[in-house]
Chains A and B, each alone.
Chain A
């Protein structure tokens, strides 16, 4: 049996467990070993989006609209994909400016406007209160139903109870106390609540598991799987209609679309979502996992909604049981006490998670952006001179938490009963959607101004109030219901549910349409026509260009003034306590290589800005600005000066860009120089090699000439035959010497560029033929066959006749030299290749190894170089040929396979570019 005390004890045990988790996480954070530094915890904490509304209300909505509950969860999936760009930017901005809440963010963006911060706070509080009342309603309803076990009685049928006997009242009080212990135990300059985040992540797990448990129980326990539930439901005509409901009453595509948009905005701008996604984010990288893990969480928690809805309608026909309670009543009807208790705890976790984060976020806003700026401005209170304000801050926050929860309870008592869970939630969604234009515009559009934001927000909020909240009041009996149907004072055109005669839309679509038109329209229009102040200019630039700025010091350049370090210290200690102020001073000094308090800190612009952002972390940007202004003598910058600074900044950017360009060019030049130097060294080495090789090459024939001459002179007994042979050798070696010297001279001329080129128009075919005639004796001597394949008509080209002859001669004589006597065959061919003429000289000699092919055109290098080599040339012929061909604009190369002959080829261009210049 489920006794009341058992439920209460379990609930408190659960809350105690939450507190233990939070306490542990806070301890770990203080020790520097954060438990929430994980993308999984971050993703789970985003699950605070799923409240009691999701837990109980989705099934209720599914029972009336089929898939109509889904846009609320599809929207976040569509939005979170954009977070890669959008939220990352917001997180970065918030970190750099120490933003503490959504109101702080908006106020800070539009020139640290306290008025705007206050307006945002009011919208958020008014908008969220129905949502909080919804959580109270869910917890108290589920508690009351559970209490009736084993009977299933709807609370609406119970008699109205006085406040002190109302569960919801006690739930509100307990939650307020719990939140205060959770969120405002102490004041932290960084405004992180690590313990809270850890507890929220745990709650997300609990509610998911509870919901999956009841889903599996209904689908597979009561029925035989998904197919069974749907097959049984399909028999009932009313249920069957829910399976393709989109043309139905509430399911028009327009309202589906608007619900998606609404939830896309809610996932970013609900104060609690902003709190966990932005303020409590400890590492931007966590976003990467959350972008797909969070939608997965949404998918998981929604899978069983439809089976539970159908199961419930089949189990409790005729609407005897409210569909919002199926999640709880189905296990109860099946006498499954433990599961029912688990469901209650799951619902409790969904509700507490939402209430804790939402009220902490709201209390921060109320304190930093509504109460403090007002108190600080009241000179009578002389707050700016008071010694210690930490206590005051905490008191304000705690009172704000009490007030928000009690207001939620009041709304629940007075209006909550008239609506289903989902409709209440949507009213809040529509309220926070009003923040979208000023936030999104604020981070991407530099032109958005404070007046524009004020106009847009006020108008949007008014339209929301008129088309959604007032009708809700009217339905609850606060206002005459006739006012809804006939418009105020009988003006039909102003009917809140069909403004300006726009009828036929559901309430949310209608309200969203008009409020967004008013909001975004006024924001853009007023921004375009109102000129911004200096402060707004500066903040706009800080926000929009957050990724272009180097660091936190960015804001300091816009400040001018004088201050004294002790004043700043006093200011900090009033809000953060003596030790907090000491810590900030020490950090600042350490970052600059100083020691505080031994070294004197100069309160320059950078330091004042540092103090202001630190203080903003505790009391919000607008309050912080007022406080800092009270201790420094600030010389306000004029708009022109800010413009000038911005211009200077862009000039600096341009300069640095130019510098970068220059340094790249310089690097390239250095690289070229280095390469040139290497080349010079290489040339120097080559020259040395050349000289030594030349002397060696010259000495070989000289030695042989000298030794044979000496023999002839010294030994008169040498016979005639022998003498003749010796003289032959001497003659041959002399010829070789002559040839070598000629070639060396040739080469040095080529290399020094002093060769005279006599360029004439010539027919390459004639040149080849005449060279063949000149070398025919060589071929005959060695009995090598020479075959020429020369086509008939080819264009003439411009070149030096003697030099080209030299190349062909060289190739032919080489070919014949390497052919075997008697079996040799050499083929000369000429062909046109595009704009080139190509000459091939192919022999069937021993061929050239691959290794040799690469060096054969170098100076003094010959194929098959070895001491015993019979084939003696000068080693310069091919090199000189290569030089000549290159000079004439062609290319020379060899193809060969060892043992299969070699083909030397060269090309000469028909038309040469810059031929004249080179000829000079």
Chain B
């Protein structure tokens, strides 16, 4: 299998990870009235997970193999 296909499969996996992170039950776990660093926990979670996902996608795409 060549790099191109492997990257494609990794991206599919990341997309599925994203679907998991941004859905029930993960969202429900963080749907909490608490405050973290002065920001509501849910907001911190969504933006952090989003940023991380983009970082992972960028790493997969830009990796030289």
Residues of chain A at the chain B interface (Cβ within 8 Å): 66-67, 70-71, 74, 77-79, 81-82, 84-85, 225-228, 230-231, 234, 240, 243-247, 253, 256-257, 260, 288-289, 291-292, 295-296, 299, 303, 306
- In contact, B11 and A234 (Cβ under 8 angstroms): no
Given contact pairs A82-B11, A82-B15, A295 touches B57 in the complex (Cβ within 8 A): yes
- In contact, B38 and A231 (Cβ under 8 angstroms): yes
Instruction: Tell me which residues across on chain B come within 8 A of A245, comparing CB atoms.
Output: 31
- In contact, B38 and A292 (Cβ under 8 angstroms): no
Tell me, rounded to whole Å, the shortest Cβ–Cβ distance linking B38 to chain A. 2
- In contact, A77 and B54 (Cβ under 8 angstroms): yes
- In contact, A299 and B23 (Cβ under 8 angstroms): no
Tell me, rounded to whole Å, the shortest Cβ–Cβ distance linking B9 to chain A. 9
- In contact, B19 and A78 (Cβ under 8 angstroms): yes
A-B contact pairs, 26 of them (CB 8 A): A66-B42, A67-B46, A70-B46, A74-B18, A74-B46, A77-B53, A81-B12, A84-B7, A84-B11, A85-B8, A85-B12, A227-B38, A228-B38, A230-B35, A240-B33, A243-B40, A243-B43, A246-B42, A247-B31, A253-B24, A253-B27, A288-B62, A292-B54, A292-B58, A292-B61, A295-B57
Task: Give A228 to B33 CA distance when docked, in angstroms.
Answer: 16
Tell me, rounded to whole Å, the shortest Cβ–Cβ distance linking A325 to chain B. 23
Instruction: Tell me which residues across on chain A come within 8 A of B35, comparing CB atoms.
Output: 230-231, 234
Q: Which of B23, B37, B41 contacts A256 (CB 8 A)?
A: B23
- In contact, B57 and A291 (Cβ under 8 angstroms): yes
Q: A84-B11, A230-B40 are in contact. List 7 more A-B contacts (CB 8 A).
A: A78-B18, A243-B33, A245-B31, A247-B31, A288-B62, A292-B62, A296-B54
Task: Give A253 to B24 CA distance when docked, in angstroms.
Answer: 6
- In contact, A257 and B23 (Cβ under 8 angstroms): yes
Tell me, rounded to whole Å, the shortest Cβ–Cβ distance linking A90 to chain B. 14
Give the total of B residues in contact with A, Cβ under 8 Å. 34
6 shortest A-B CB distances, which residue pairs?
A: A227-B38, A292-B58, A243-B40, A81-B15, A253-B24, A246-B31
- In contact, A226 and B38 (Cβ under 8 angstroms): yes
CB interface residues, B 14-65, toward A, < 8 Å? 14-15, 18-19, 22-24, 27-28, 31-33, 35, 37-43, 46-47, 50-51, 53-54, 57-58, 61-62
Given contact pairs A67-B46, A230-B35, A244-B33, A81 touches B24 in the complex (Cβ within 8 A): no
Q: Is the interface of B mostly helix, strand, loop or mixed?
A: helix
Instruction: Tell me which residues across on chain A come within 8 A of B14, comparing CB atoms.
Output: 81
- In contact, A226 and B39 (Cβ under 8 angstroms): yes
Report the number of A-B residue pairs with Cβ-Cβ less than 8 Å.
Answer: 101
Instruction: Tell me which residues across on chain B come within 8 A of A288, comparing CB atoms.
Output: 61-62
Given contact pairs A230-B38, A243-B40, A82 touches B57 in the complex (Cβ within 8 A): no
Instruction: Tell me which residues across on chain B come within 8 A of A230, comparing CB atoms.
Output: 35, 38-40
Instruction: Tell me which residues across on chain B come within 8 A of A253, comparing CB atoms.
Output: 23-24, 27-28
Tell me, rounded to whole Å, the shortest Cβ–Cβ distance linking B4 to chain A. 9
Instruction: Tell me which residues across on chain B come within 8 A of A79, comparing CB atoms.
Output: 15
- In contact, B57 and A78 (Cβ under 8 angstroms): no
Instruction: Tell me which residues across on chain B come within 8 A of A78, comparing CB atoms.
Output: 15, 18-19, 22
Given contact pairs A240-B33, A291-B61, A81 touches B18 in the complex (Cβ within 8 A): yes
Nearest B residue (CB) for A83: B11
Tell me, rounded to whole Å, the shortest Cβ–Cβ distance linking B52 to chain A. 11
- In contact, B23 and A260 (Cβ under 8 angstroms): yes
Instruction: Tell me which residues across on chain A come within 8 A of B47, comparing CB atoms.
Output: 299, 303
Given contact pairs A84-B8, A256-B27, A295 touches B22 in the complex (Cβ within 8 A): no
